[in-house]
């Protein structure tokens, strides 16, 4: 059976992945709350920092997709988290957990990793105007 939109999740699979993102967000918040030196003010200040990567779209679709995907993949924050436990560095732990929470939040809202075709083309399906145009 072929997907309805090649390269994108649809239907129940998309819903499962979005729920997974919501659970990642909840778990990251739970873990953050358990940190000894936590600061919810720091959490609030840092939560949307990964979205600075959207500035890559000023240069072009491909650059935007690459910069967004680098900051919205679990690879870097999980690597930082592993390193932070080896050092140990509580600030790095906190920042990496906030970063993971942000990614979970975005995925729960349906903002997946981007394709170079444009911001609206994500691994979780189409978003924004593209999705509205398709359903019309």
User: In this model, does residue 79 exceed pLDDT 90?
Assistant: yes
pLDDT, tens digit, 9 for 90 and up, residues 57-77: 999 999 999 999 999 999 999
In a domain, 26, yes or no: no
pLDDT band at 5 (very low <50, low <70, confident <90, very high): very low
Q: Dump pLDDT digits (tens) for 101-126.
A: 999 999 999 999 999 988 888 988 88
The structure's pTM equals: 0.89
**In this structure, are residues 2 and 13 in contact, taking their beta carbons and an 8 Å threshold?**
no
Instruction: Say yes or no to pLDDT of 135 above 70.
Output: no
23 part of a folded domain: no
Residue 109 lies in a domain: yes
Q: What's the number of domains the chain is made of?
A: 1
Does 121 fall in a domain? yes
In this structure, is residue 4 part of a structural domain? no
Whether residue 111 is contained in a domain is answered as: yes
Q: List C-alpha distances in Å: 53 to 14, 61, 66, 109, 128.
A: 24, 12, 9, 18, 18
In a domain, 82, yes or no: yes
Which range in 3-7, 90-94, 119-123, 125-129 is most confidently predicted, on average pLDDT? 90-94
Mean pLDDT, the chain, integer = 90
pLDDT band at 136 (very low <50, low <70, confident <90, very high): low
Provide the domain limits for residue 116.
50-136
């Amino acid at each position: 059976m072929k997907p309805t939109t090649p390269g994108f999740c649809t239907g129940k699979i998309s819903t499962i992945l979005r729920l997974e993102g919501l659970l990642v967000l909840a778990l990251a918040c739970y873990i953050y709350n358990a940190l000894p030196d936590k600061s919810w003010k720091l959490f609030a200040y840092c939560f949307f920092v990964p979205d600075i990567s959207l500035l890559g779209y000023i240069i072009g679709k491909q650059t935007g997709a690459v910069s967004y995907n680098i900051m919205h993949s679990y690879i870097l924050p999980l690597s930082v988290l592993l390193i932070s436990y080896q050092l140990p560095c509580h600030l790095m732990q906190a920042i990496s957990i906030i970063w993971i929470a942000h990614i979970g939040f975005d995925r729960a809202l349906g903002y997946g990793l981007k394709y170079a075709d444009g911001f609206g083309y994500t691994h979780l399906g189409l978003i924004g105007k593209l999705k509205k145009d398709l359903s019309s």
